[in-house]
């Protein structure tokens, strides 16, 4: 495994790093306090070509490999993990189309994302089906005219209030079915001009094919305040046969394929946050003096900083190996995707927590970024599969 980056990867890293330095980190605390959806940042990221990373070359005109995608998301997460979560969710929603869609479906459902800065939502989790996807009750039922009707509710859906397209996993025929399908629900495109900021409002969408979608009020969350999360309810939404991805019985396999791709991207979010926590902590401990010397020169503080650095490095190595496995489509990619996700989440929480501790009382105030990072870090251990689920996957593969 070669850890040296190629010319394109170096270019991506430098481009995103400069973007984050100029557009995100200088005003991140003001942006979070305002709690406005960051359409401006997302639009600029789209203009730079660092959004919609999974969209194939046939649609976008250029290909971004999995390792480069992970590096891009890591650098974007160094600025803010809420923004990177919203950006990555486009790939979470669109990866199944890129992986299993027909040529016609890729053109129809992915082309709009290459033409303007719009967002997609990945609709998997339900109130009664979090880690246990088979417990979902959303379903499609076939009608006499060969179309399907989708009904059901999803929760904790990223980008829901601003989505122009929904990738929905659901049961086939009835809520208790053993088969799962993946369907695409495009709606009228939404940009910053249409909904600058949803605030605390709900959203009702009349679906072009028939039926409607009800988006609940955005969730009030502990962290990642710059990403949007809301519930989604589908009411008699008409699904043409051409909107079903692949085989309507193989939805669970498609979920696994998408999450094998997505978990290294979530790991990249964790690594980016852990790096940021380490950086702001080193900066603070270099400036702050106690007992007549800089905090960073106190042996106990230096040991803590060293521990933070080790967590970051181990997480990044796990991330790169997982990205390589996914890129090579290795049979064991799932176990390394889970390892990277858990290792990076642990690094993010550890670095944010220890960094806050070294900031002392100041770290507990909203004036210092470390308090934000501590709040943001915990969701990385939860979304796209909690750590216990990742351990279940690893254990299953080992034995």
* Residue 2 forms part of a structural domain: no
* Residue 265 forms part of a structural domain: yes
* Residue 195 forms part of a structural domain: yes
Domain end residue (candidates: 115, 131, 147): 115
Residues 6+ apart with CB under 8 A from 85: 158, 224, 227, 269, 383
C-beta of residue 223 within 8 angstroms of C-beta of residue 378: yes
C-beta of residue 279 within 8 angstroms of C-beta of residue 207: no
Q: Which residue among the candidates 75, 126, 316, 384 is catalytic per the annotation?
A: 384
* Residue 1 forms part of a structural domain: no
DSSP code of residue 26 = G
- Angle subtended by helix axes 66-79 and 251-287, to nearest 10: 40
**Three-state DSSP class for 167?**
strand
The continuous run of DSSP H or E covering 293 comes out as strand 293-294
C-beta of residue 146 within 8 angstroms of C-beta of residue 241: yes
Task: Report how many domains make up the chain.
Answer: 3
DSSP code of residue 379 = G
* Residue 292 forms part of a structural domain: yes
Q: Does residue 373 share a domain with residue 288?
A: yes
C-beta of residue 357 within 8 angstroms of C-beta of residue 304: yes
Q: Does residue 171 share a domain with residue 76?
A: no
* Residue 333 forms part of a structural domain: yes
Distance CA 83, CA 75 (A): 11
C-beta of residue 54 within 8 angstroms of C-beta of residue 261: yes
C-beta of residue 101 within 8 angstroms of C-beta of residue 47: no
Q: Among positive and negative, which fits the CA dihedral 236, 237, 242, 245?
A: negative
Q: Does residue 174 share a domain with residue 36?
A: no
Domain end residue (candidates: 115, 141, 176): 115
Residues 6+ apart with CB under 8 A from 139: 150, 151, 152, 170, 171, 172, 173, 174, 175, 177
C-alpha 102, offset from chain centre? 25
- The domain that holds 76 is classified in CATH as 1.10.540.10
Backbone angles phi, psi at 183, to 5 degrees: -125, 150
* Residue 143 forms part of a structural domain: yes
* Ordered alpha helix ranges (H), 168-298: 251-287
pLDDT at 3: 73
Q: Does residue 172 share a domain with residue 100?
A: no
Tokens of 167: 């990738």
* Residue 213 forms part of a structural domain: yes
Query: Scanning the structure block, which residue is given the tokens 């940009």?
Result: 191
275 is in which domain, residue-wise?
A: 252-398
Q: Does residue 177 share a domain with residue 130?
A: yes
Distance CA 110, CA 356 (A): 42
**Largest interatomic CA distance in the chain:** 81
Q: Does residue 210 share a domain with residue 138?
A: yes
Tens digit of pLDDT for each residue in 46-101? 999 999 999 999 999 999 999 999 999 999 999 999 999 999 999 999 999 999 99
C-alpha 313, offset from chain centre? 21
Residues 6+ apart with CB under 8 A from 273: 77, 78, 81, 348, 351, 352, 373, 376, 377, 380
C-beta of residue 189 within 8 angstroms of C-beta of residue 118: yes
The candidate with the shortest Cα–Cα distance to 165, out of 107, 112, 234, is 112
State the first-to-last Cα distance of the chain, in angstroms, to the nearest integer.
Answer: 26
DSSP code of residue 134 = G
Ranges under pLDDT 70 in the chain:
1-2
- Is 384 a known active-site residue? yes
Q: Does residue 46 share a domain with residue 110?
A: yes
- The domain that holds 153 is classified in CATH as 2.40.110.10
Q: Does residue 161 share a domain with residue 29?
A: no
Beta strands 163-172; 139-142: pairing state: parallel
What is each CA distance from 384 to 85, 110, 122, 215, 365, in whole angstroms? Answer: 11, 22, 11, 21, 30
- The domain that holds 340 is classified in CATH as 1.20.140.10
Q: Does residue 166 share a domain with residue 110?
A: no
pLDDT at 225: 97
Q: Does residue 258 share a domain with residue 220?
A: no
Q: Does residue 212 share a domain with residue 177?
A: yes
Domain end residue (candidates: 78, 93, 115): 115
Q: Does residue 379 share a domain with residue 269?
A: yes
C-alpha 307, offset from chain centre? 27
């Amino acid at each position: 495994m070669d850890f040296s980056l190629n010319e394109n990867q170096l270019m991506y890293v430098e481009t995103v790093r400069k973007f984050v330095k100029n557009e995100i980190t200088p005003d991140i605390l003001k942006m979070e306090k305002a709690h406005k959806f960051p359409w401006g940042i997302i639009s600029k990221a789209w203009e730079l070509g660092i959004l919609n990373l999974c969209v194939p070359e046939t649609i976008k005109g250029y290909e971004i490999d999995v390792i480069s995608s992970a590096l891009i998301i890591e650098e974007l997460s160094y600025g803010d993990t809420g923004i990177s979560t919203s950006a990555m969710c486009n790939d979470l929603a669109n990866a199944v189309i890129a992986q299993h869609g027909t040529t016609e479906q890729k053109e129809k459902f992915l082309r709009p994302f290459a033409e303007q800065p719009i967002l997609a939502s990945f609709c998997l989790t339900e109130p009664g089906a979090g880690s246990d996807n088979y417990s979902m009750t959303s379903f499609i039922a076939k009608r006499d005219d060969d179309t399907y009707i989708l009904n059901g509710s999803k929760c904790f859906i990223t980008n829901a209030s601003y989505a122009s397209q929904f990738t929905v996993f659901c049961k086939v025929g009835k809520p208790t079915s053993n088969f799962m399908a993946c369907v695409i629900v495009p709606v009228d495109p939404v940009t910053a001009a249409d909904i600058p900021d949803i605030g605390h409002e709900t959203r009702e969408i009349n679906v072009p094919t028939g039926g409607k979608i009800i988006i609940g009020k955005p969730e009030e969350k502990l962290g990642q305040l710059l990403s949007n999360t809301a519930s989604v309810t589908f009411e008699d939404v008409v699904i043409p046969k051409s909107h079903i991805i692949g085989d309507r019985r193989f939805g669970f396999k498609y979920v696994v394929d998408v999450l094998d791709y997505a978990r290294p991207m979530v790991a990249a979010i964790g690594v980016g946050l852990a790096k940021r926590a380490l950086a702001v902590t080193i900066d603070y401990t270099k400036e702050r003096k106690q007992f007549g010397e800089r905090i960073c020169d106190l042996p106990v503080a230096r040991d803590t900083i060293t521990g933070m650095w080790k967590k970051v490095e181990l997480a990044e190595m796990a991330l790169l190996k997982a990205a390589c496995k996914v890129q090579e489509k290795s049979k064991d990619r799932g176990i390394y995707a889970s390892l990277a996700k858990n290792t990076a989440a642990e690094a993010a929480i550890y670095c944010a927590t220890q960094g806050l501790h070294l900031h002392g009382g100041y770290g507990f105030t909203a004036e210092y970024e470390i308090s934000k990072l501590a709040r943001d870090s915990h969701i990385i251990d939860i979304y796209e599969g909690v750590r216990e689920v990742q351990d279940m996957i690893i254990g299953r593969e080992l034995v």
